[in-house]
Amino acid sequence: MDSILGVLWNCFQPGMLFMVFIGVAGGIIIGAIPGLTPAMAIAIMTSFTFSMDPHAAMALMIGVFFGGIYGGGIGSILVNIPGTPGAIMSGLDGHPMAKRGEAGQAIGIATWSSFVGGVFGMLMLILVAPLLSAFALRFSSPEIFALTIFGFSIVCSLCSRGGLAKGIVSVCLGIITCMVGLDPVTGVERFTFDLSDLTSGLQFVPVMIGLFGLTEILKQISLNELNYVPQKLTKVIPSFSLMKRLLPTQLRSSIIGTLVGAMPGAGASIAAFLSYDYEHRHSKTPELFGKGHPEGLAAPQAADNAMCGGAFMPMLTLGIPGDAVTALLLGALILHNIQPGPMLMVEHPSMVYTIYITGIMSDVFMCILGLFAANFFARLISVPYYFLFPIIMVMCVVGAFASGNSMFHVYVLIGYGILGFTMLKLGLPILPMVLGVVLGPMMEENLRTAILMSHGEIGFWFTRPITVALFAISLISVALPLVKRRLKCKTAAASA
């Protein structure tokens, strides 16, 4: 069954179809629940799949991976609590839509964009994997450091109009959060106050659930009247004209997602940040972003799912995983004595074809399941708040606990929930802080590693074209709006 037709036949056997279907359905649920990530589920599954046929095991795990990445967006849209770290940006425009009573439509857009992104990523994997993974490898420490700097420049477009200072304060709070724990380069303890729990640092999942979930609940409770939003439960499938309108956004975001996915050491959250930022900056109507603009939801969802295909590229061609989940899949293949890497296509072509086919199959199942379940999910937030909030609260606490099997993570959740609420009252935006938490550790480790690599020579930075280009783009993107505003003021003054 080493020919592609043989594998195709095998993949359409009921058993394999069932594996992919169960994987996707389970993945969507795991992804939608805050604290449970597809990476966690796949890690636990590897030992159970040890006795399975490796192709069936792969089909199941790919289903969970793709379903989970998509499912993360559902929590963001419905209650503004991202189910997975990659879904942080999906709530920015998805949640306002739900607040308008368009949760079903938002999930429809998210599903369709995820489908387009996912299929795009898989097609790129099939067509240009060796080329792209060779390019992605050129992103070493200096380049990734430059990329994080570019990522931080997003704050400028997120908090325009006088809010920039507050945005920067918020980013710094996020970076401070990441300072706790072992130094990434020397291994010395920092800010651990002799608490052994702090040596591993503050984990991202409880911090994120605290800042989004608990803060949201506290905010809702503090409002005196809770306004109930009736959900329009019609036509969740985006209209043809909307599909046509979103396609350019989805394709641009898919390209960003695939590229970021192929870089070892970057992740889904960065793909979402960058694609949202790109769409926001280059939109003709930037003022609509953040208020329930379909493009703002389509971009991160398409990028997240395109990231999946991208992450497989270095794994299949070089044996280097592109993200945390492909690292686990690589381990699972090795347990079956299959070595991912340059010899995989020669030694086990059937495995490569299985990954291609089940990947695309997962996207199709995800699209069908998502569109069917959209109204069901939308109805969930029509549940009265006095039922809904306690349930979400329980899920947040369980999710934080499950992320490390420890009560310490629950205390972190509560701490950051209170911090988030305080920030809200002070008018400090929360999203930049999360940006700091995600990009901070990457920025620090890659900067310090790059300095080690440079042997202390400043000229080193200029020998790397990608780094220089990224720094230049960041500089332009920060300076351009300021220059534009200055010019506008001048012309206004001249004409007056």
Partner 1 sequence: MKPIHLKTWLVAFVAAFSLLLSVVSAQAEYPDKPISCLVGYGAGGGTDQDARAFAELMSKELGQRVIIVNLPGALTANAVNELVKAKPDGYTLLYTTSTISMLKGQGISDLTYADMQPLCAAMRENPILVVNKTSPYATAKDFFAAVKANPGKLNMAVAAAGGTWHLGMIRLAKHNDMDFVIIPNSAGGSGMNARLLSGNADAAFLAPSEALSQVKSGLFRVLAISATERSSLMPDVPTFKELGYDLDMSPVRGLYAPKGLPDDVMKKLITVTKKIVLSKEWKEIKENLLSQAYYLGPEDFTNHLKQELVDYTKMLEEGGLLKKK
Total binding residues for partner 1 by CB under 8 A?
55
Up-side HSE of residue 220: CA atoms within 13 Å toward CB?
20
Among positions 4, 17, 29, 46, the unique one binding partner 1 when judged by CB under 8 A: 46
Judge whether 246 and 294 are in contact, CB under 8 Å: yes
Give the bridge partners for 181, in sequence order.
190
Shortest distance in whole angstroms from residue 74 CB to partner 1: 23
Q: Which is nearer to partner 1, 222 or 339 (CB)?
A: 339
Shortest distance in whole angstroms from residue 386 CB to partner 1: 35
Judge whether 433 and 417 are in contact, CB under 8 Å: no
Which range of residues in 11-19, 221-229, 236-244, 315-323 is near partner 1 by CB under 8 A?
Answer: 315-323
Binding-site string for partner 1 from residue 237 to residue 276, where x marks contact by CB under 8 A and - marks none: ---------------------------xx-----------
For residues 290-321, one letter each, b for 16 or more C-beta atoms within 10 angstroms of the residue's C-beta and e for the rest, the string is bebbbbbbbbbbbbbbbbbbbbbbbbbbbbbb
Q: Is 339 in the site for partner 1 (CB under 8 A)?
A: yes
Subset of 200-239 contacting partner 1 (CB under 8 A)? 200
Among positions 140, 148, 249, 375, the unique one binding partner 1 when judged by CB under 8 A: 140
Long-range Cβ contacts of 160-169 (<8 Å, 24+ apart) = 160/481, 163/429, 166/427, 166/428, 166/429, 167/429, 167/432, 168/432, 169/428
Judge whether 299 and 109 are in contact, CB under 8 Å: no
Binding-site string for partner 1 from residue 383 to residue 422, where x marks contact by CB under 8 A and - marks none: ---------------------xxx-x--------------
Tokens of 33: 């629940």
Shortest distance in whole angstroms from residue 185 CB to partner 1: 5
- Select from 286, 245, 207 the least CA-distant residue to 113: 245
Question: What does the alpha-carbon distance between residue 144 and residue 466 come to, in Å, rounded to a whole number?
Answer: 10
Shortest distance in whole angstroms from residue 17 CB to partner 1: 27
DSSP class of 416 = H
Binding-site string for partner 1 from residue 181 to residue 200, where x marks contact by CB under 8 A and - marks none: -xxxxxxxx------xx-xx
Q: Is 334 in the site for partner 1 (CB under 8 A)?
A: yes
Among positions 328, 374, 396, 437, the unique one binding partner 1 when judged by CB under 8 A: 328
Tokens of 401: 């606990």
User: Is 384 in a helix, a strand, or coil?
Assistant: coil
Q: Is 457 in the site for partner 1 (CB under 8 A)?
A: no
Shortest distance in whole angstroms from residue 184 CB to partner 1: 5
Among positions 131, 221, 391, 453, the unique one binding partner 1 when judged by CB under 8 A: 453
Q: Which is nearer to partner 1, 350 or 406 (CB)?
A: 406
Question: What does the alpha-carbon distance between residue 153 and residue 155 come to, in Å, rounded to a whole number?
Answer: 5
Mapped to the 3 state alphabet, what secondary structure does 270-317 carry? HHHHHHHHHHHHHCCCHHHCCCCCHHHHHHHHHHHHHHHHHHHHHHHH
Among positions 123, 137, 242, 243, the unique one binding partner 1 when judged by CB under 8 A: 137
Q: Which is nearer to partner 1, 175 or 344 (CB)?
A: 344
- Select from 146, 140, 74 the least CA-distant residue to 103: 74
Judge whether 85 and 48 are in contact, CB under 8 Å: no
Shortest distance in whole angstroms from residue 112 CB to partner 1: 31
| 387 burial via Cβ count (<10 Å: 0-12, 13-18, 19+) | exposed
Tokens of 107: 């999930």
- Select from 196, 92, 152, 198 the least CA-distant residue to 444: 152
Which range of residues in 114-122, 228-236, 316-324, 422-430 is near partner 1 by CB under 8 A?
Answer: 316-324
List all residues 6 or more positions away from 492 whose beta carbon is below 8 Å from its beta carbon: none
Binding-site string for partner 1 from residue 78 to residue 117, where x marks contact by CB under 8 A and - marks none: ----------------------------------------
Shortest distance in whole angstroms from residue 124 CB to partner 1: 19
Among positions 36, 173, 320, 351, the unique one binding partner 1 when judged by CB under 8 A: 320
Subset of 62-81 contacting partner 1 (CB under 8 A)? none
Which range of residues in 78-86, 153-161, 238-246, 328-336 is near partner 1 by CB under 8 A?
Answer: 328-336
Q: Which is nearer to partner 1, 334 or 482 (CB)?
A: 334
Among positions 70, 440, 445, 470, the unique one binding partner 1 when judged by CB under 8 A: 445
- Select from 213, 227, 257 the least CA-distant residue to 393: 213
Residues in contact with partner 1 by the rule CB under 8 A? 39-40, 42-44, 46-47, 50, 137-138, 140-141, 182-189, 196-197, 199-200, 264-265, 314, 318-321, 324, 327-328, 330-331, 334-335, 337, 339-344, 404-406, 408, 441, 445, 449, 452-453, 455
